[in-house]
Amino acid sequence: MRGVDIKARDGAALVANLFVPDTPGPLPGVIFITSWAFPNIEYLLQAKEFTEAGYVVLLYTPRGFYGSGGTIDMGGPKDIGDVSDVIDWLLANTPTDPARIGVGGISYGAGLSLLGAAFDARIRAVASMSGWADLPSAMLGNQTRHVRGGLLALTAALTGRPSPEMQEMLRHFFDNTDIPAVIAFTEARSPARYLDRINTNRPAIFMANAYDDRVFAPNPIADFFTELRGPKRLELRPGGHGTAETPGLLGQPEDLWRNVHRWFDHFLRGMNTGITTEEPVQIQPRNQRGYEAYPSWRAMATGSAQYYLGEVQRPSDEGALVTRAWTDWRFSIVTGVDTVASEVFMGEAQPVSIAAVNRTNAGVWQSDVLEGALRLRGAAHLHVTIAPGTSASTTVIAYLYDTDKLGMGRLVTHIPFTIPDAVAGQAYPVDTDFFVTAYDVPEGHRLTLVVDTVDPLYVDMENRSTELTFLSPPVDPSYVSLPLR
């Protein structure tokens, strides 16, 4: 290994570590781009393994972080240009085969890898781990500002030099001003925006994400993956942002990095690793050890069930989530109290006493005891009508729980949504998908829906003590629809 400085087209020097095997070329080359606020020692152990397998390996720190010059571009045109400049340097200074180049990374490095593949056809294989496809949804999904999107500012200030444009965007984000400008900034940094370019270049794209990634939720990843036209593979596992990748970074054997090696070996070394004979969608359901394989994302769910909120007369096989009867098809809660939270640690949700949830400050619906397991696969859907008691932006967080015989619930999935500039007393129908999951609710348990207005993961919350009314009229009943296997 030796440290090198790579000069970008604007003169900024990117710090990197280079590994070259002691074998004659030309050789396949792989570039790993570090995560947000991480130095380029992040991939040292993986670089050693790839070098021993015959790859030229280069690890570089994106501009603006640590010793790399320039300012943080957050996936903008300078970052995209840097990927190509690094490839130019690699071809000019190492025995790398120009027809066998791969790029990969975790989180920030994952997004930059996908963006680079859209603008540089020399990239033949990509490994995107815990990355993003649609940046606006990560920071402002369902018109709700996500706290962890805002943490970009703190970590960037501690480890790098944010660009003036990024600082302006984050100021608008935190102040909740000129949100269209924030959306425009983030859309320009979304691989999904350049899907046509990626499909024209047809790199082989490997993607891995986690159900409980609170930075980059998997829903946009699944949509992006579905539209890819080249060789592709999607892996989803339990866990949070970057947790599945960590054991491999520390030298411990695990499936994700083993499959990254198989992916690059197949497409860059021409080896028959068997990975392309496997189904392209591989998921590990939560609370399980094994994997399920599917030919496509949409093939995961083969049926559905609707659970209605309130005493709505529907066919018995569609179920009902009922708390009690309301003659006027409505009930209200007082906002401003954090009754439950959406945090999950390493893919394991902490049990919550559903009985202890204060019904004054949260809505709770619960199914009958399940006569058979519910195998959720994909994104559940919520349809509900809400009437805020105050004319103001109103945020609601909906949670689905697996509730056992003792009344303890484990979080299955959740979703926040915001009604901006709501008018007091006006009814607002809301349709939204929950975050993607793969979860089996066992026979004998109950499915529970909790609706709240405060969660520490989200900035936009109605903190005043005001009434929030939920309606489920017979002509337009509220419901949860579940994708089932």
Q: Tell me the CATH number at 29.
A: 3.40.50.1820
Considering 264, 299, 334, which residue would you say is the last residue of a domain? 299
CATH number at residue 396: 2.60.120.260
| Residue 363: closest CA among 433, 310, 436 | 310
Report the distance separating Cα 270 and Cα 259, nearest Å. 15
The amino acid sitting at 152 is L
Any idea which residue has 């680079």 for tokens? 116
Q: Are residues 149 and 285 in the same domain?
A: yes
Q: Are residues 287 and 309 in the same domain?
A: no
Q: Are residues 250 and 395 in the same domain?
A: no
Report the distance separating Cα 107 and Cα 44, nearest Å. 17
Token pair belonging to 245: 């990748």
Q: Are residues 119 and 262 in the same domain?
A: yes
Cβ atoms of 145 and 176 within 8 Å: the answer is yes
Q: Are residues 18 and 50 in the same domain?
A: yes
Q: Are residues 286 and 310 in the same domain?
A: no
Q: Are residues 265 and 321 in the same domain?
A: no
Report the distance separating Cα 172 and Cα 178, nearest Å. 6
How do 446-452 and 320-321 pair as beta strands? unpaired
Report the distance separating Cα 466 and Cα 392, nearest Å. 10
Q: Are residues 292 and 312 in the same domain?
A: no
pTM assigned to the model? 0.92
The domain tally of the chain equals 2
Report the distance separating Cα 131 and Cα 213, nearest Å. 10
H or E element, residue 100: strand 96-106
Any idea which residue has 């992916």 for tokens? 263
Residue range of the domain that includes 463:
301-484
From start to end of 291-407, where are the E strands? 292-294, 303-309, 320-321, 330-334, 352-353, 363-366, 374-378, 381-388, 394-403
Cβ atoms of 225 and 207 within 8 Å: the answer is yes
Q: Are residues 234 and 312 in the same domain?
A: no
Token pair belonging to 367: 């199914």
Q: Are residues 373 and 263 in the same domain?
A: no
Cβ atoms of 459 and 146 within 8 Å: the answer is yes
Contact partners, residue 134, CB within 8 Å, separation at least 6? 190, 192, 220, 223, 224
The amino acid sitting at 353 is S
Tell me the pLDDT of the chain (485 aa) as tens digits.
899 999 999 999 999 999 999 999 899 999 999 999 999 899 999 999 999 999 999 999 999 999 999 999 999 999 999 999 999 999 999 999 999 999 999 999 999 999 999 999 999 999 999 999 999 999 999 999 888 766 777 888 889 999 999 999 999 998 889 999 999 999 999 999 999 999 999 999 999 999 999 899 999 999 999 999 999 999 999 999 999 999 999 999 889 999 999 999 999 999 999 999 999 999 999 988 899 999 999 999 999 999 988 654 444 444 556 443 333 344 455 554 556 666 555 456 678 888 888 877 788 888 989 999 999 999 999 999 988 888 888 888 999 999 999 999 999 999 999 998 889 889 999 999 999 999 999 999 999 999 888 887 887 655 555 678 888 877 888 899 999 99
Q: Are residues 329 and 198 in the same domain?
A: no
Considering 255, 281, 299, which residue would you say is the last residue of a domain? 299
Considering 276, 299, 322, which residue would you say is the last residue of a domain? 299
Cα distance from N-terminal residue to C-terminal residue, the chain: 49
In angstroms, the Cα distances linking 420 to 202, 390, 424, 428 are 40, 12, 12, 11
Report the distance separating Cα 259 and Cα 275, nearest Å. 8
Q: Are residues 17 and 126 in the same domain?
A: yes
